[in-house]
Structure 1
Amino acid sequence: MSPSIIVAVVIVVIIFLGIFTVKQQSAVVVQRFGKFNSIRQSGLNFKIPLVDKVAGVVNLRIQQLDVLIETKTKDNVFVKLKVSVQFKVIQDRVYDAFYKLEYPHDQITSYVFDVVRAEVPKLILDDVFERKDNIAVAVKGELNDAMTTYGYDIINTLITDIDPDIQVKNAMNRINAADREKVAAEYEAEASRIRIVAKAKAEAESKRLQGQGIADQRREIAQGLVESVDVLNKVGINSQEASALIVVTQHYDTLQSVGSDSRSNLILLPNAPSAASDMLTNMVASFAASSKLKEMNDTPTKGNVNDSDQVEDYNA
C-alpha cells in the first residue's frame, strides 16, 4: 500500500473520530487532556481525536423534580407534602452547573426539605391548606438564592399534594359531614316552620271566612224573620203570635229535613207530636209574662203598695 493511501486513510479516520453533533437544548463540555477546554452548543462540532474528550452533556431544557416530605404542623398533625420544583440550567453558566455541583437533584431536595420543615411547623393544619402558595413562594425564594450560584434557575415551585394522616383525614371527613348534616337540619327545620306558619295562616283565614259566612247567614235569617213578622202583622197577627208561628214552622221543617235522610242518625228532642203545641203554648205564655212585667215596671206605685205586692198580684 502506497504512503499516500495510508495518509488519506489516517486523515479520514481522524475526521471521523473528531466530528460530533450536539442535540438541540443541550450543551457539551469538552476537555483537553483532562482540563476544561470549551462548551459546544447544538449543531455540528469538531474535536481533536485522542486530545479532546467530551466530558459530559448538560440538559438545557426545563426539568421537574418531585420531592415528598413528611413533617408536623403546629397542632401536632403529621402531614405529607409533595413539592414539585421546575428548574433549568442557565445557558451561559453551563460551566458552573457542570463543575460546581455534581448532584443537583440531591441539592435541590435538601433545600426543599429545609424550607418546608421550617415553614409548616409554624402553621396549623387548616392554614397549611390555605397558605400552600406562601410555602411554595418561600421554597422558590430559598432555592433561587442557593441554586443561582451553581448555574441553575428555579422556574417555579408548586405544592401539588397535601396528605394528612389517615386518622386525621377521617376525623376531618366526619366533622365536614356533621357540619353538612347540621346545615341540612337547619334548612329542614326552617322549611317545617314555614309549612306550619302557612298552615296556621290558612286555618286562620278559613276560620275568618267561616265566621263571616255564619254571620252573614244569621244576618240574612234575622232579616228574613223581620220581613216575615212584618208580613204577618199586615194580616192582623201580632208579633208574639208571628214569632210563635215561625218557630213552629221551623220545627216542622227541621223534622221533615231529618226524616227525608234515611242515613241520618240525628234525633231531635223533643220530637213527640204534642211538642209543637207545647212549644207554642210556652212561647205565648212567656211573651205574655214578659209584656205584663214590662207594664208593671212602667206603671208608678200607688199608695203603700210595694213591688212585692205587685209581684203577688201578678202571681195570683
Structure 2
Amino acid sequence: MRNITPVNWKQFIAPAVILIVAVCALGSYFTVSAGNVAVKLRFGKIVGAYSEGLHFKLPLVDSIEKFSVRIRKDSFNTEAFSKDLQTVGLTLAINHRILPDTIESIYRNLGPEYTATVLKPMVEEWTKAVIAKYSADSLISNRVQVAKELDEILKSKMAEKQVIVSDIAITNFEFSPQFLKAVEEKQIAEQEAKRATNLVEKVKKEAEQKILQAEAEAKSLRLQREVVSDNLIKLRQVEAQLKAIEKWDGRMPTYMAGDQMPFVMTR
C-alpha cells in the first residue's frame, strides 16, 4: 500500500497572510487627481467628500465615486415645434460644471450621471418652450436671441440643482425638406418683386429726368425767343434809321417822336 504524505498547510499560511496584508494595504488608500473630487461610500452611505490628494479608506468596505469639477462640454440633439407648427431639429452645445463643495449633495440628489438624468431633460423641456415662441423662418435670423433666452433659463434652473451652466450655443438648425423648399420659393418671389420694384423706380426716375430735361429745353427756347425778339426789333429800328439818314437832304425834321432819330420828310 502506497503511503500518502500529509500536506503541510503551514507553508501556505505565511504567503496567504502576506498576500492579504498586501491587498489590504493597497486597498486602504485612494488618490484624487487634480480637477476631480470624490465621495466615499461605506455600505452605500456617504461618509465623506474629498478633494485632490491621497486619502485613507477601509479596504473591502469603502467604495469611491469620483467626479470632475472641470468645465464639461456636452452636445444634445432635440426636436421642437415652432410657432407655426414646423418641426425644428436643434443641436446644442452646453458647457457646465459642479462645485467641489456641492459634491455630496450632487451625488445624493442627482447621482453620478446627472448629465443624462437631469441636464438633458431640462434642455429638451425648455428648448421646446423657447422655440414655440418663434416662427420657423425667423429662427435663423434670431439665432443669437434664442440661444440667449435658453442660456438665461437653463442657468437659473440648473443653478437650483447646484450645476453651473456657463455657456449655451446652438450649433445647428434642421428643418423639413418641404419647409426649406417653401422658404426657397419665398426668397425667389421676394427677389423677383424687388427686381420689379427696382425696374419701376428706374423707369420713374428716367421719366422724371426726361421731364426735367424737356422743361429745361423749353425754358431755354423761351429765353432764346425773348432775346431774339428784342434784338430783332432793335435791328429793324437801326436799319430804318440808316435808311432815313441815307435819304436825309440836310433839312431839320418837322416832327420828332420820343428818343428816336428825326423823321425826314421826303419829297
| TM-score class normalised by the smaller sequence | 0.5 to 0.7
Unmatched segments (≥5 aa) in structure 2:
1-16, 249-267
Quote the sequence identity (%): 15
Aligned-partner Cα distance in 2 for 1:192–1:235 = 63
Aligned pair in 2 of structure 1 residues 8, 143: CA closer, same or farther (>3 Å)?
closer
Q: 1:97 aligns with which of 89, 96, 106?
A: 106
**Residue in 2 aligned with 1:69?**
78
Q: 1:232 aligns with which of 243, 258, 265?
A: 243
Is the Cα contact below 8 Å between 1:28 and 1:40 reproduced in 2?
A: yes
**Residue in 2 aligned with 1:3?**
none
Which structure has more relative contact order (CA 8 Å, sep 6+)? It is 2
**Residue in 2 aligned with 1:29?**
39
The residue matched to 2:247 in structure 1 has which SS? coil
State the aligned residue count.
226
Aligned pair in 2 of structure 1 residues 143, 159: CA closer, same or farther (>3 Å)?
farther
Q: 1:79 aligns with which of 66, 83, 88?
A: 88
**Residue in 1 aligned with 2:215?**
204
Aligned-partner Cα distance in 2 for 1:225–1:127 = 80
Aligned pair in 2 of structure 1 residues 138, 197: CA closer, same or farther (>3 Å)?
same
Greater mean alpha carbon deviation, residues 29-38 or residues 167-176: 29-38
| AA matched with 2:88 | V
Aligned pair in 2 of structure 1 residues 15, 187: CA closer, same or farther (>3 Å)?
same
Is the Cα contact below 8 Å between 2:150 and 2:168 reproduced in 1?
A: no
Instruction: Note the aligned Cα RMSD (angstroms).
Output: 3.6
**Residue in 1 aligned with 2:200?**
189
Aligned pair in 2 of structure 1 residues 187, 46: CA closer, same or farther (>3 Å)?
same
Structure 1 position 76, deviation (Å):
1.9
Structure 1 position 80, deviation (Å):
1.1
**Residue in 2 aligned with 1:110?**
121
Is the Cα contact below 8 Å between 1:116 and 1:139 reproduced in 2?
A: no
- The TM-score normalised by the length of structure 1 is 0.58
| AA matched with 1:22 | V
Is the Cα contact below 8 Å between 2:27 and 2:58 reproduced in 1?
A: yes
Is the Cα contact below 8 Å between 2:154 and 2:165 reproduced in 1?
A: no
Structure 1 position 166, deviation (Å):
3.0
**Residue in 2 aligned with 1:165?**
176
- The TM-score normalised by the length of structure 2 is 0.66
Which is helix-richer, 1 or 2?
A: 1
| AA matched with 2:49 | I
Is the Cα contact below 8 Å between 1:71 and 1:79 reproduced in 2?
A: yes
